[in-house]
Amino acid sequence: MRRHRWCRPCEFSPAVVVILACIVVLQFLLLIKDQDGLFQTDYSEMSKKSTQMKTETRIATSGVLPTTETIDTFRTCTCGMHYQVNGTEALVFPSTPKKKVLLAIGIPTIHRVGETYLLQTLDSLISNMADNERDDVIIIVFLADRETEKRTMLATSIKNKFGDLLQSGMISVIQAPNSYYNAINVTKLTYNQPIKYVKWRAKQNFDYAYMFKYSMGRSSYYMQIEDDVKTLPGYVDSIKQYIKEQTDEWTCLEFSELGFIGKLYHTEDLDKMAMMFLLFYQEQPVDYTYLYFNLVMTQMTKKLRKPTLFQHLGIYSSFPGKIQPLKDRYFDNFTKVFKADNPPAEIITSMSVYLTFLPRLAYQGEGYFWSHGAPTDGDTFTVVFQEPQKLVRVVVVTGSEGHPHDRIEYARLDASLTLLKTDNDLKCTNDISLGFFENGNIDAGFLIEKISFKVMCLRITVTKVHALWVIIKEIAVFVSK
């Protein structure tokens, strides 16, 4: 049976959780009801205590923005939290309305100075989705620039590449009216950050809240990513499986350890989360507010799926001049290591295939083959060349960063000189042994000296029952021209 190796989630001290949750809930209720009383909290003392917690949650310390006017300690704040999004007016391109789906993926984006990854992100999401999953997913791109020219440029690039998906309603491009941001009024600084940065992150709170409000009722679950990430083959099914694995109630499931990437919520909670983002837009960056929201919703531990499903690509932050080369430590790297020839071939295996981790991914493209169950004695994995090849070197790498033990331990590699074809079968014969696997890998070199004929097949044959599933990450074939 498959053995999962999940890391134990970080745990909060119960006493601190109760104190923190009470503070946030009381502030939340006081602001919603516009009550006048002064609620005193010693944030500096809380900050000292928070450094002792082994958690990613941070307590904000705030300072008053220098001004010649007196700023009330508490202001009456509607902050746009009751703003209603007109779904039709928000759409940049008219599209066929989709019925309520399983998953909505939100992507806020702005024009960046430097390299732009938006189209690459969309392409990764779509190409790594199985055809039968497209009816279960909608992708919502929010153009968050205030300048019309920048929004138009991004919208045009999306339409040129994904026009058919815009028309079908699988991709929606939305924007907010400039009047929506009139409620932003930065009157204090927190985290010792300069006014320009605080204004930028305050707007980001409004951007996210707008996306939440637009997405309400359109799906069962909502997940947000950034506009500079890539994902993995089969990621939608992995999300479904992780949801099914939950044995207790949850507020947020995480599929990336970074920022606000890959955070999954029940869509029914989006309105409350939008209100919280709008209420505390001055005090907190979005990456912290969602942590507080999870606590208020009584989820006391992080539920991070490992390996994660999204990797951060970008270097340039959406804040001008900020460099942010973050990488997710738990993301499996699917990129092939060897720059091999890999001539055209058909890939065949007797092993069951897990989800969309197809056999061909071990030989070409980004991805790898993953067996559905442990291989047994006699199982095979075969590369059948379209034309006979003169081999120089063959390398097979198994296992992955996320699953280093899912590797081939007991197997041999053969080259076949002859291919017999029938109506129902392909049979490789006239075998020459290239060696046996060691520590999950094999590197057979100097083959020109060993094999004087061209070969038709390469075949991995399992020689002993394995305990775990196996991943064939890369098959690299070098040939003589």
Does some domain include residue 6?
Answer: no
Give the other-Cβ count within 10 Å of 462's Cβ. Answer: 24
Tallying the residues shown for the chain, one arrives at 481
d(CA 329, CA 311): 9
Does some domain include residue 5?
Answer: no
CATH code of the domain in which 57 resides = 3.90.550.10
Which of 257, 291, 312 lies at the terminal end of a domain, its last residue? 312
Which of 291, 312, 333 lies at the terminal end of a domain, its last residue? 312
**Quick check: 267 and 217 in contact, CB under 8 A?**
yes
Does some domain include residue 318?
Answer: no
**What are the backbone angles phi and psi of residue 327, rounded to the nearest 5°?**
-130, 140
Q: Do 131 and 173 fall into the same domain?
A: yes
Does some domain include residue 357?
Answer: yes
Does some domain include residue 250?
Answer: yes
Q: Do 159 and 231 fall into the same domain?
A: yes
**Number of structural domains found in the chain:** 2
For the four alpha carbons of 370, 405, 237 and 258, in that order, the dihedral sign comes to: negative
- Long-range contacts (CB closer than 8 Å, 24 or more residues apart) made by 286-291: 286/201, 286/204, 286/205, 286/208, 286/260, 287/259, 287/260, 288/57, 288/58, 288/60, 289/205, 290/252, 290/260, 290/263, 291/56, 291/57
d(CA 200, CA 202): 5
CATH code of the domain in which 376 resides = 2.60.120.260
Q: Do 232 and 361 fall into the same domain?
A: no
Instruction: Return the DSSP state at 269.
Output: G
| Pairing state between β 137-143 and 219-224 | unpaired
Q: Do 156 and 281 fall into the same domain?
A: yes
Q: Do 443 and 369 fall into the same domain?
A: yes
Q: Do 231 and 82 fall into the same domain?
A: yes
Q: Do 150 and 268 fall into the same domain?
A: yes
Q: Do 273 and 178 fall into the same domain?
A: yes
Does some domain include residue 319?
Answer: no
Q: Do 169 and 267 fall into the same domain?
A: yes
Cα separations in angstroms, 203 against 108, 152, 185, 285, 475 = 12, 20, 10, 10, 48
Nearest to 92 by CA among 158, 24, 20: 158
pLDDT at 5: 37
Q: Do 304 and 425 fall into the same domain?
A: no
Q: Tens-of-pLDDT digits for all 481 residues of the chain? A: 444 433 434 444 555 544 655 565 555 544 444 433 322 333 333 333 333 333 333 323 333 343 333 333 334 455 666 778 888 889 999 877 788 999 999 999 998 776 788 999 999 999 988 888 899 999 999 999 999 999 999 999 999 999 999 999 999 999 999 899 998 999 889 999 999 999 999 999 999 999 999 999 999 999 999 999 999 878 998 899 899 999 999 999 999 999 889 999 999 999 999 999 999 999 999 989 999 999 999 999 999 997 789 998 865 555 555 545 677 777 776 778 888 999 999 999 999 998 778 999 999 977 889 999 999 999 999 999 999 999 999 999 999 876 889 999 999 999 999 999 887 788 999 999 999 999 999 999 999 988 999 999 999 999 999 999 999 999 999 999 8
Q: Do 299 and 365 fall into the same domain?
A: no
| Boundaries of domain holding 420 | 345-479
Q: Do 219 and 163 fall into the same domain?
A: yes
Contact partners, residue 274, CB within 8 Å, separation at least 6: 81, 208, 209, 210, 212, 213
Does some domain include residue 325?
Answer: no
Does some domain include residue 303?
Answer: yes
pLDDT at 466: 97
Cα separations in angstroms, 462 against 179, 376, 445 = 65, 7, 21
